[in-house]
Structure 1
Amino acid sequence: MSKTEAPADGAPAPKKKGKLKPLLLFGVGGALLLGGGVGAGLYAAGAGGGGAHAEEKDVPKLVPKGEGEHKAESGEGGGGHESGGEGGEATAGAHGAPLTDAHPDPSKYEATYFAMEQPFTSNLQDSDGLIQVSLGVSTYYDGRVIDNLKRHEMPVRSAILMVLADQDPNVIGTPPGKKALQTALTKSINDVLRQKEGFGGIDDVYFSSFIVQ
């Protein structure tokens, strides 16, 4: 049995092998795991932010004064601009500015007017009387609102006729009755547009003719 020879005087003692590599590999592996975890976290955070941005609704925007995309297609009706509707949407306005009021400020934003081609005729509530009106609408949003109105003309006309048929003949001929009808018609149009497109945008309804018989 051979004996281990003692090292010569002044010679360094031999290093023990077998433990250094596992320790080194462990350190490198831990660093890789740590780096991968940080990278995955940063990627997830970035992906989350991008996803939130991508899911932002693309809705019509308010049109600032002087930047109107459409010329007026009709004159104002006899009802005047009493702002009887709920056209203003609580969403991003022009250049991303959020709206805080139910109606956009008319001094800041451009109104677009659109006349509905065919008049509306309906019986009145519990009466033999008839009402016939020609309507126009206004919006402070971009052209997509009027495009939506044209696209869904049939359900919009149906909703308008239902509102007209629900009017009291003793009230409809009075100024307060007409203003209340403006409010009801604006709401009915916006309800249809929200159902079909997720956004209303009609600010008011105008009467270009108004006949009760």
Structure 2
Amino acid sequence: MAKKEEAKPAEAAAAGGGGGGKGKLIIIILLVLILLILAVGATLFFTGALNKFLGHGGDDGSAVAAGGHGAPMAVPVAVPKSAGPAKYQPLDPPFVVNFDDQGVLRYVQISVSIMARDQKALDKVKENDPQIRYRLILLFSGQTFAELGTPAGKEKLQQKTLEEIQKILIAETGTPGIEAVYFTNFVMQ
């Protein structure tokens, strides 16, 4: 009789009565895999790598104007240096923009001066001041507090500022006009 009682649990396990543990294990493994895929996808999405992977690349304003696609423009454009001395012009008043930093409202005040060797280029900047200010406000407000807190972040923003101004001048006058942009005051709060 003992042999018959021992045989019954073995038969039940072989028939699938004890297979509930295997089914739970498979479900747990599938859930872990799904969560892992979602985590990787979310990371790629929030870092922007997903757009690049899918070929969207994001529009940072550097696409060719004719079709909106293609190679980035070679900006900043090298301005041929004339024999004249460097001339500087501030973009007054200073830029004051706010931006969100992880739920905290932050402010940055940036005084910008431009440099050119041709007075005509400086005059063109004055003529296009509203458009230039608008584009720079959008650029500045799109920054993060962490990026602006580093020297490399400030230099990157300085380069983007030069590119934005040169793009406008090329579109309006056909020439980049200015050679450099300088931040003469930079306050973050």
Taking structure 1 as the reference length, the TM-score comes to: 0.49
Q: Which has the higher helix share?
A: 2
Number of the residue aligned with 1:88? 78
Query: What displacement does 1:109 show?
Result: 5.3
Number of residues of Structure 1 aligned to a counterpart in Structure 2: 113
* Identity across matched positions, percent: 27
Find the residue that maps to 1:128 and give its secondary structure.
strand
Mapping for residues 92-131 of structure 1, pairs under 5 Å = 93=80, 104=81, 110-124=85-99, 126=101, 128-131=105-108
Larger Rg: 1
Indicate how the Cα distance of structure 1 residues 192 and 128 shifts in structure 2: closer, same or farther if over 3 A, else same.
same
Aligned 8 A contact 1:134 1:210 in 2: yes
Amino acid at match of 2:151: P
Taking structure 2 as the reference length, the TM-score comes to: 0.55
1:34-68 per-residue CA deviation (whole Å, 9 max, x = no partner) reads: xxxxxxxxxxxxxxxxxxxxxxxxxxxxxxxxxxx
Question: Please, which moves more after superposition, 120-129 or 176-185?
Answer: 120-129
CA distance in 1, matches of 2:173, 2:78: 15
- Pairing 1:136–2:113 present: yes
Query: What displacement does 1:209 show?
Result: 1.1
Q: Please, which of 195, 201, 205 is the counterpart of residue 171 of structure 2? A: 195
Amino acid at match of 1:197: T
Give structure 2 stretches of 5+ with no counterpart.
Answer: 1-74
CA distance in 2, matches of 1:116, 1:138: 11
Amino acid at match of 2:164: S
Amino acid at match of 1:195: A
User: Which structure is richer in relative contact order (CA contacts within 8 A, separation 6 or more)?
Assistant: 1
CA distance in 2, matches of 1:160, 1:144: 21
Amino acid at match of 1:113: Y
Q: Which has the higher strand share?
A: 2
